[in-house]
Structure 1
Amino acid sequence: MSATSAHRPRIAYLITNSEIGGAQAHVADLMQAMRQNADVTLLAGGDGHLFASAQAAGIPAIRLRMLDNALSPVRAVQALRELNTALREVAPDIIHAHSAKAGALGRVAGKVLGIPVIYTVHGFAFKPAAPWRQRLAARVTEWLLAPLTTRLICVADGERELARSLPIAGSRVSVIRNGLADVAERAHPGAPLRRIAMVARFAHPKRPDVLLEAFGQTGLAQCELVIAGEGPQLPAIRARAQAMTPAQVALPGSIHDVPGLLASSQIFVLVSDHEALPLSVLEAMRAGLPVIASDLPGIREQLDDGRCGILLEDKQPQTLARALQALAADAPRREALGRLARQRWEQQFGLARMIQATWAVYQDTLASAPRYRASARQRHAQN
């Protein structure tokens, strides 16, 4: 990957929250890689770990105080004004927006300021499994904003299928699957079963409650269940875990050493009502862990239609309990599924593939907006 001219493009990465999460990890990887050939800036709400990641990499960052997930129209207008001010200061060639609210405000700001906007959809909110009010609001919003989207990036083929219902040309829609850099830590799933892990935010659409109840039905007395993550449902799940017998359940909150946790586990689980292409599943595949997960389109893509993992036919605790018991009793199968998952990750979900494909979208976007690019150079010179 290399810049095509002496001018280094300016890219503003925009995301609603700076907390720890899959989309935030995705943005951190993009910023770190793209800074070799572009001047990148982070714009985000909150005061989370993403700002620390940017600072450690020497990447300028602007905290947008009014940007959050609140549904208040007044606050949205205030956030848009704040965003416009920040974008005038940064004068980017491209806005690359992530997450729903940042994606909405970013596209409006891009239209007002004449800046091309690339929007990465980490999961459309109008999936059939979402509550109907959410589906309706999300579909109307995305339908209205589609004409303001210079390029739309979907992280899975299933998301592109949903995008076909929007008024945006197919030539402006790309599928770039999430990717991860490799790490040294590896799991040993064929070892005696000592730990089952799930890494997820304790909030809809994740279902740690299903895993907790299923684990209680397995009778795996010598095994520990670890569910790592933060979120509004964590206190309620902790209360339920404390009442369990046996009580070998750990809920450590957010952890920074996810590779270490996965390397010490023999099975990974993700239960969810809906997903796009979850990074937690990719992290488990990278570690060489067998994965048990909800049968959703994006996860089906990751696990190659179940060839390198177990897809749950429903979200009933007894269904998951049976799958856990079957893997617990079959170390060779755990070993085989873990090996196949690792091979699938190597072939399809490495970081370099994602970075190269995203850079190509940037280059194509800039090449198709020559008038803006010329005016941007003038603004850069003035700044």
Structure 2
Amino acid sequence: MSLTSLPERPRIACLITNSAIGGAQTHVADLLRALHGQADVTLLAGGDGPLFDLADELGIPAIRLATMDNALSPVKAVAAMRELIAALRDTAPDLLHTHSAKASALGRIAGRLLRIPVVYTVHGFAFKPAAPWKQRTVARITEWVLAPFTCQFICVSEAEGTMTRSLPVRADRVTVIRNGIADVPRRAAPGAALRRIVTVMRLAPPKRPDVLIRAFAMASLPDCELVIAGDGPRRESLEHLAGQLAPGRVRFAGSVSEIPALLASAQAFMLASDHEGFPISVLEAMRAGLPVIASALPGIWEQLAGGRCGTLVDGNDPQAFASALERLATDARQRIAQGQAARAHWEAQYGLDPMVRATWAIYQKALADRRTIDNRVTAS
């Protein structure tokens, strides 16, 4: 795509805690593809996931941060900070764009120390009411302290925008840019007999695959399988639960590289979670033309247009999910109608190009602010 050029070709570092497969990682991958050729981009990430493969494919420099992970250890955080500062000194970016909680916290501190403006994409704050109180308290304090270090906030939903505005930050530094994804040729056929239900998620909190397994076991769907794409620390316990409740009918597919193909083979999609921002997996299901059954969380409510493009379930109640599944199983016309509505809404609202253009505009604003500050320092 063609992006409006800045006066100078900017150097942009994209920082994320983990390079493994996930919604935030998919978002970063889309940005790397879009920015390639328009800016000098560097990927900074922990782990050893497919984001590094993509960077190599695109010819984008990438630095693996060996000490960057999701651990809450202060000792590890100090080590990760030192490694990050060294990487930023080596790459000397004009702008740092951070994703995910830990990388964004450390990135904003490093940005302040090195005088690099930081754009922070909020994929989902951890101080939502549904989060455990300790996590919620720590996250709230952290975001409150670091808000002044943030040049621009990008919020993926109106709900995240509202939470951001509760922090000590100027209104002109908060912008809602909903996630968008590129189109693919594969489409589902939800009108066919319900034989496969798919969910895509990391098998760790706040996701609730246990709710989906229980709901699937409760529903009367003898000729149907539930496919869980994704991996994580809860996989073993979830496999045990599935073996008890629905033996031989729940398939754990692990990390799937061809998500569009998997979704195209299904007739319905489900997602249960305790809290979310604006999940990419729901957008992928909508793009495929699948009926969606998902937790009635603010970001998902926005995605599904208040339930006009899918079924919203309150309270992560397995029986409510099961009832919604049974209704879809016996009504092919409803599956088709919901799938068509979801696809049409995705086409109208959640394509990749509008998201990238809006993000580029935020970069322009952040870089202009930096030039203004640099000029003032030089003048003084």
**TM range, normalised to the smaller chain?**
over 0.9
SS in 2 for 1:314: helix
Equivalence for 2:218: 217
Instruction: Give the equivalent residue in structure 2 for 1:345.
Output: 346
* Structure 2 Cα separation of the partners of residues 285 and 221 of structure 1: 26
Kept after mapping to 2: 8 A contact 1:15/1:103: yes
Q: Which amino acid aligns with 2:282?
A: V
Shift of 1:237: 0.9
CA distance in 2, matches of 1:95, 1:373: 16
Partner of 1:129: 130
**Distance in 1 (alpha carbons) for counterparts of 2:83 and 2:43:** 14
Identify the residue that residue 100 of structure 2 maps to in structure 1: 99
Where do residues 1-383 of structure 1 align in structure 2 (5 Å cutoff)? 1-5=3-7, 7-245=8-246, 247-370=248-371
User: Following TM superposition, by how much is the alpha carbon of 1:125 offset from its aligned partner in structure 2, in angstroms?
Assistant: 0.2
- Distance verdict in 2 for CA 1:245–1:29, change over 3 Å: closer
Distance 2:246 2:153 in 1: 48
The 1-side partners of 2:109 and 2:262 are apart by 41
CA distance in 1, matches of 2:246, 2:364: 57
Alignment size in residue pairs: 374
Q: Distance in 2 between matches of 1:241 and 1:78?
A: 39
Contact 2:36 2:58 in 1 (8 A): no
Query: 1 CA distance for matches of 2:68 and 2:314?
Result: 38
8 Å CA contact 1:229, 1:253 repeated in 2: yes
Deviation at 1:179, TM superposition (A): 0.6
8 Å contact 1:195–1:225 — kept in the other structure?
yes
- The Cα shift of 1:322 comes to 0.5
> Residues 13 and 43 of structure 1 are in contact (CA less than 8 Å); yes or no, is this contact kept in structure 2?
yes
Structure 1 window deviating more from structure 2 (237-246 vs 48-57): it is: 237-246
Q: Give 5+ residue unaligned stretches, structure 1.
A: 376-383
Question: Structure 2: how far apart are the matches of 1:265 and 1:95?
Answer: 39
Change (3 A) 1:77 1:343: same
Q: Name the aligned partner's letter for residue 126 of structure 1.
A: F
| Identity over aligned pairs, percent | 60
- 1:381: which partner in 2? none
Q: CA deviation at 1:314?
A: 2.3
Gaps of 5+ in 2: none
Deviation at 1:75, TM superposition (A): 1.6
What are the Cα deviations for residues 5-44 of structure 1, in whole angstroms up to 9, with x where unaligned?
2x21000001111111111111111011012210000011
Structure 1 CA distance for aligned equivalents of residues 313 and 171 of structure 2: 32
Aligned 8 A contact 2:206 2:275 in 1: yes
The C-alpha deviation readout for 1:166-204, integer Å capped at 9, x for no partner, is 000111001011110000100010111111111111111
C-alpha distance in 2, partners of 1:156/1:31?
21
What is the alpha-carbon distance in structure 2 between the residues aligned to residue 194 and residue 46 of structure 1? 36
Q: CA deviation at 1:313?
A: 2.0
* One-letter amino acid of the counterpart of residue 204, structure 2: A
Give the partner amino acid of 2:137. L
Deviation at 1:371, TM superposition (A): 5.2
Which AA in structure 2 matches 1:217? Answer: M
SS in 2 for 1:367: helix
Kept in 2, the 8 Å contact 1:221–1:246? The answer is no
Q: Is the contact between residue 241 and residue 249 of structure 1 (CA under 8 Å) also seen in structure 2?
A: yes
CA contact (8 A) 1:93 1:373 kept: no
The normalised TM-score by structure 1 is 0.96
TM-score (norm 2): 0.96
